[in-house]
Amino acid sequence: MILPAAFSAFGQKTERRIAVTIDDLPVVSTRKDIKNRQAITRRLLAHIKRAKVPAIGFVNEGKLYTDDKRDEAQVDLLRAWLDAGLELGNHTFSHLSLHDNPLEKYEADILKGEIITKELLAARGMQERFFRHPYLWTGLTMDTKTALGKFLDAHGYRIAPVTIDNSDWIFARAYDNAFDRGDKKLMKQIGAAYVPYMEAKMDYWERQSVRIFGREIDQILLIHANFINSDYFGKLARMLEKRNYKFVSLDDALRDEAYRLPDNFVKRSGISWLHRWALDRGREFLLPDEPKTPDFVLKAAGVSEE
């Protein structure tokens, strides 16, 4: 059962803090045309501005090129994020897998993925400060994690962890597929299930935080720059506000002392930092019964399992 919106896992009213991080900028969608990307960006940013969320977007610069040439219409989508007063971070050029490529190739993809973003930020007196691993795959050995950490430090990056992990990308694929088939009824069903699913996830991760720390830490939410969020981020933000969350920047959230703990996870999964820290302490700290994506959404997305 999901706890009352404004109450903590202890059953007491609490003030909560959350940073919203949005991956795969400028847009991830089944439709690649610029008008679709412009519409998704415009609607998503309108929701973010209305809710006064100091979000950060993580960019795949490979999406800023058409036929290997810089496409200013795509770059303008990032300018729109900056015009909204938001921050941008590095998500590699091509959404490369750290687990399936040599570290040198991965590091080169990071540097290739900062060229345009750094230019846009510099024009506004800003710097690129944060890096988000694609798939949340952070390395299969501690040697790889340590080497990449040194590389990121040398290039002025701090890793952007995630505590509120979820499958918004599965909902997004299902939503896109339904739109592409002209199935508006299914789109509404998927949309109607999305925010309740996300609230169930919030409740789970809040309780997982208490299991580890005895308190609710400042949370970091991961979602994506996609069609379903361009339609439903406003409702998602209102749900978070009803749960008594204050929106803070990623920089502010990372001041919570929980984020001083190391990330020692070296398996293939891309999992929440809360689960990484729980596994460090022992499997008894791993909270069971994490909410699952509804079967009909998995079917609509063409995904067999999470």
Tokens, residue 150: 């040194």
Q: Which residues constitute the domain of residue 290? A: 16-301
Amino acid, res. 298: L
Pairing of strands 245-248, 16-25: parallel
Residue 122 CB coordination number (10 Å): 11
Task: Reply yes or no: is the peptide bond before residue 54 cis, omega within 30 of 0.
Answer: no
Residue pair 198/166 in contact (Cβ under 8 Å)? The answer is yes
Q: Per residue of the chain (306 residues), give pLDDT as tens.
A: 555 555 555 555 678 999 999 999 999 999 989 999 999 999 999 999 999 999 999 999 999 999 999 999 999 999 999 999 999 999 999 999 999 999 999 999 999 999 999 999 999 999 999 999 999 999 999 999 999 999 999 999 999 999 999 999 999 999 999 999 999 999 999 999 999 999 999 999 999 999 999 999 999 999 999 999 999 999 999 999 999 999 999 999 999 999 999 999 999 999 999 999 999 999 999 999 999 999 999 999 999 865
In a domain, 11, yes or no: no
In a domain, 8, yes or no: no
In a domain, 10, yes or no: no
Exposure of 67 by Cβ count < 10 A (0-12 exposed, 13-18 middle, 19+ buried)? exposed
- HSE value, Cβ hemisphere, 13 Å, CA-based, for 92: 20
Tokens, residue 195: 């925010």
DSSP at 164:
B
In a domain, 95, yes or no: yes
Residue whose tokens read 């209102």: 238
How far apart CA 246 and CA 225 sit, in angstroms, is 21
Q: What is the pLDDT of residue 305?
A: 67
- HSE value, Cβ hemisphere, 13 Å, CA-based, for 35: 0
Tokens, residue 26: 């400028």
Q: What is the pLDDT of residue 14?
A: 77
Number of domains observed in the structure of the chain: 1
Residue pair 155/111 in contact (Cβ under 8 Å)? The answer is yes
Residue 66 backbone dihedrals phi, psi, to 5 degrees: -125, 125
- Alpha helix positions (H), 181-294: 184-213, 227-242, 250-253, 273-281
In a domain, 3, yes or no: no
How far apart CA 227 and CA 180 sit, in angstroms, is 12
In a domain, 4, yes or no: no
Report the CATH number at residue 279.
3.20.20.370
In a domain, 9, yes or no: no
Tokens, residue 44: 């998503």
3-state percent breakdown (helix, strand, coil) of the chain, nearest 5: 50, 15, 35
In a domain, 1, yes or no: no
